[in-house]
């Protein structure tokens, strides 16, 4: 049907061009708001009426006549109808809708994907400092980042996944001091342990594990570093490096359980050691976008829409956190990434304006609006009807690994992607393990497994279904299913453009519901061979699209449940 739609679109453009030179660019289809009105719709006549000073309905009548005389419309279209002041609704012949089954089966895993556009995209996500286990908020970020990467890959982008973290600074110092206290035998609650609301200490049991392994002289390896402990209780720098490597290893285990892989780990410290921070500050000063005040160095960020100027270098000579962020994004641009997306919590909202201001002030050719941001809210976890806030392992929050162990990787991914990122979300553990239609991931996976069981019961070669006669697929339920299959590629494009993987979850739930309705309306393994093969082809195509969509989310498509 996609090829049919393209044929009809080209014919529409040609007819518009005949009416008025240059108007062919207005050729576009949309879905009628009411399904009963048709399969495709166009408002082209209404758009042209005003500049041409024509009555829109009369113009629509002229356009309809031209379309009905076109060979493509004669072949694929049942009716072209005018509604209201000039809407044009198009009803397709069953044969036009049936073409989507061949397209899905012919393209398989590639269905919905676009050809390479030659552009590079970097998505930075998770980016958790190695000071503790990954929490549920990191899990939402991991699910979002990975799904957005997958979406852009379907659109032909060369996608690169990056994890950025601070391997120095105050938090890492607190990690080292907490580990040192544990190594000396102290624990939270002891007089020697820092206490109070803002005490500089990490209280989770994992700190005791780090201290014990350090004293045992163990070696830890992560995706980006390896370190062997000296075992010397007075080796504070070694303890710091060991703790960072240990927690990076723990994070890697969390990410592996979540099936998320990164192409690169970028260290904040490298921005200083490489001279990038100093070079960025110098560039901003030479551009005349900084000034000294009260012993600090300021950026004139109000020149670029920020609500106030921002301190770059504090009185003590240290830089505020947005300065290395600017240096980091200049590095991203220089590495050839024409598009960059940052997945961060909503608490980072204030950094957007100052980072973009710094990039514009640096005057290195970076376009306005670079980088893109996707901000997400935190996640509440409910288990047994009560909110869960504390994990003994982490000390103060539910970890991503807790959530995976309580449910499954598939459930966590699907659930965390089922709402807009900036929408508050409550993760219901009991729902995530329920095997019923109220559980959305179970509902979608069950539709796929149900189709696989039908194909297994048939016992034929599924590869032959792409060539069968589809003319028997004329029922309202079959046609509704085919129309929904045809919407998959456009849905992917829109979801990528809007950084909206939740659109994929909505689509998959709708497709599963549409399949279940079809299954309830028509028996598939009937005696009539031609009818049976046509119906098998349709459900096989449906299984393929369910599989492809779930893969975008990083969720499996089981054949049995």
* Whether the predicted pLDDT of 395 surpasses 70: no
CATH number of the domain that residue 75 is part of: 3.30.1360.70
* Whether the predicted pLDDT of 321 surpasses 90: no
Supply the pLDDT for residue 394: 58
Tell me if 190 is assigned to some domain: yes
Is the peptide bond prior to 371 cis by the omega test (within 30 degrees of 0)?
Answer: yes
Domain boundary among 264, 296, 318: 264
* Whether the predicted pLDDT of 407 surpasses 90: yes
Of 81-90, 275-284, 337-346, 526-535, the least confident: 81-90
* Whether the predicted pLDDT of 225 surpasses 70: yes
Tell me if 121 is assigned to some domain: no
* Whether the predicted pLDDT of 224 surpasses 60: yes
The Cα–Cα gap between 331 and 327 comes to: 6
pLDDT band at 37 (very low <50, low <70, confident <90, very high): confident
Q: Which residues are within 8 A (CB) of 168 and not within 5 positions of it... i.e. 6 or more apart?
A: 268, 269
Q: Which residues are within 8 A (CB) of 403 and not within 5 positions of it... i.e. 6 or more apart?
A: 136, 139, 381, 412, 427, 429
Tell me if 70 is assigned to some domain: yes
Tell me if 504 is assigned to some domain: yes
Supply the pLDDT for residue 529: 97
The Cα–Cα gap between 126 and 493 comes to: 24
Helix axes 2-19, 94-107, angle to 10 degrees: 120
444-498 pLDDT per residue, tens: 999 999 999 999 999 999 999 999 999 999 999 999 999 999 999 999 999 999 9
Domain boundary among 58, 77, 92: 92
Supply the pLDDT for residue 391: 60
The Cα–Cα gap between 445 and 516 comes to: 12
Tell me if 506 is assigned to some domain: yes
The phi, psi pair for 164, rounded to 5°, reads: -110, 135
**Total Cβ atoms within 10 A of residue 5:** 20
Supply the pLDDT for residue 35: 79
* Whether the predicted pLDDT of 18 surpasses 80: yes
522 and 383 Cβ atoms separated by less than 8 Å: no
Tell me if 220 is assigned to some domain: yes
The Cα–Cα gap between 475 and 465 comes to: 19
Supply the pLDDT for residue 447: 98
Tell me if 218 is assigned to some domain: yes
* Mean pLDDT, range 266-284, rounded to an integer: 95
Mean pLDDT rounded to a whole number for the chain: 94
End-to-end CA separation in angstroms for the chain = 32
10 Å CB burial of residue 153 (0-12, 13-18, 19+) is middle
The Cα–Cα gap between 273 and 59 comes to: 67
CATH number of the domain that residue 480 is part of: 1.10.730.10
The Cα–Cα gap between 181 and 160 comes to: 40
38-51 pLDDT per residue, tens: 899 999 999 988 88
Query: Considering its fold, how many domains does the chain have in total?
Result: 3
Supply the pLDDT for residue 200: 87
424-440 pLDDT per residue, tens: 999 999 999 999 999 99
Supply the pLDDT for residue 173: 93
With residues binned 3-state (H G I as helix, E B as strand, rest as coil), the percentages for the chain, rounded to 5, are: 55, 15, 35
Domain boundary among 62, 92, 122: 92
Domain range for 48 is: 2-92
Share of the chain above pLDDT 70, in %: 99
295-307 pLDDT per residue, tens: 999 999 999 988 8
Kindly report the pTM of this predicted structure: 0.91
Query: Do 444 and 543 reside in the same domain of the chain?
Result: yes
Share of the chain above pLDDT 90, in %: 86
131-145 core/surface letters (b: 16 or more CB in 10 A; e: else): bbbbbbbbbbbbbbb
Tell me if 144 is assigned to some domain: no
Supply the pLDDT for residue 393: 58
Supply the pLDDT for residue 392: 55
* Mean pLDDT, range 410-433, rounded to an integer: 96
Query: Do 86 and 189 reside in the same domain of the chain?
Result: no
pLDDT band at 196 (very low <50, low <70, confident <90, very high): confident
Q: Which residues are within 8 A (CB) of 347 and not within 5 positions of it... i.e. 6 or more apart?
A: none
């Amino acid at each position: 049907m996609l090829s049919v739609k393209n044929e009809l679109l080209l014919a529409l453009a040609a007819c518009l061009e005949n009416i008025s030179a240059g108007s062919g660019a207005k050729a576009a289809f949309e879905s009628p708001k009411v399904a009963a009105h048709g399969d495709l719709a166009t408002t082209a006549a209404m758009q042209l009426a005003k500049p041409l000073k024509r009555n829109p309905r009369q113009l629509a009548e002229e356009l309809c006549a031209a379309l009905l005389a076109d060979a493509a419309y004669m072949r694929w279209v049942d009716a072209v109808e005018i509604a209201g002041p000039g809407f044009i609704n198009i009803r397709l012949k069953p044969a036009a809708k049936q073409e989507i089954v061949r397209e899905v089966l012919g393209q398989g895993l590639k269905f919905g994907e676009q050809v390479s556009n030659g552009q590079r995209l970097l998505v930075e996500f998770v980016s958790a400092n190695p000071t503790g286990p990954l929490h549920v908020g990191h899990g939402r970020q991991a699910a979002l980042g990975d799904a957005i990467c997958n979406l852009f890959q379907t659109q032909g982008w060369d996608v690169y996944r990056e994890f950025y973290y601070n391997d120095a600074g105050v938090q890492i110092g607190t990690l080292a001091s907490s580990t040192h206290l544990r190594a000396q035998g102290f624990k939270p609650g002891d007089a020697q342990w820092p206490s109070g609301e803002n005490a500089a200490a990490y209280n989770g049991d994992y700190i005791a594990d780090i201290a014990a392994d350090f004293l045992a002289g163990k070696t830890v390896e992560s995706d980006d570093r390896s370190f062997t402990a000296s075992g010397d209780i007075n080796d504070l720098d070694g303890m710091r490096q060991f703790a960072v490597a240990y927690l990076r290893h723990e994070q890697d285990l969390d990410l592996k359980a979540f099936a998320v892989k990164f192409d690169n780990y970028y260290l904040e410290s490298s921005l200083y050691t490489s001279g990038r921070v100093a070079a960025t500050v110098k560039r901003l000063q030479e551009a005349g976008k900084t000034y000294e005040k009260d012993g600090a160095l300021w950026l004139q960020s109000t020149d670029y829409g920020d609500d106030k100027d921002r301190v770059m270098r504090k009185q003590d000579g240290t830089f505020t956190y947005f300065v290395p962020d600017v240096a980091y994004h200049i590095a991203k641009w220089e590495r050839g990434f024409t598009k960059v997306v940052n997945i961060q919590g909503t608490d980072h909202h204030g950094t957007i304006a100052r980072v973009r201001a710094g990039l514009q002030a640096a005057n290195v050719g970076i376009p306005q609006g670079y980088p893109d941001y996707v901000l997400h809210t935190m996640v509440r976890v409910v288990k047994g009807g009560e909110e869960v806030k504390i994990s003994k392992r982490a000390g103060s929050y539910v970890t991503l690994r807790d959530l995976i162990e309580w449910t499954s990787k598939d459930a966590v991914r699907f659930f965390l992607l089922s709402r807009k990122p900036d929408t508050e979300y409550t993760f219901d553990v009991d729902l995530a393990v329920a095997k019923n239609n109220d559980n959305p991931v179970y509902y979608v996976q069950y539709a796929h497994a149900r189709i696989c069981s039908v194909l297994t019961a048939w016992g034929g070669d599924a590869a032959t279904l792409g060539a069968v006669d589809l003319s028997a697929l004329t029922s309202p339920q079959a046609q509704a299913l085919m129309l929904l299959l045809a919407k998959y590629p456009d849905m992917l494009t829109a979801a990528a453009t809007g950084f909206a993987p939740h659109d994929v979850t909505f689509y998959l739930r709708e497709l599963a519901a549409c399949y279940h309705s079809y299954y309830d309306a028509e028996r598939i393994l009937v005696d009539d061979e031609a009818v049976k093969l046509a119906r098998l082809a349709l459900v096989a195509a449906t299984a393929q699209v369910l599989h492809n969509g779930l893969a975008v989310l990083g969720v499996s498509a089981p054949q049995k449940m």
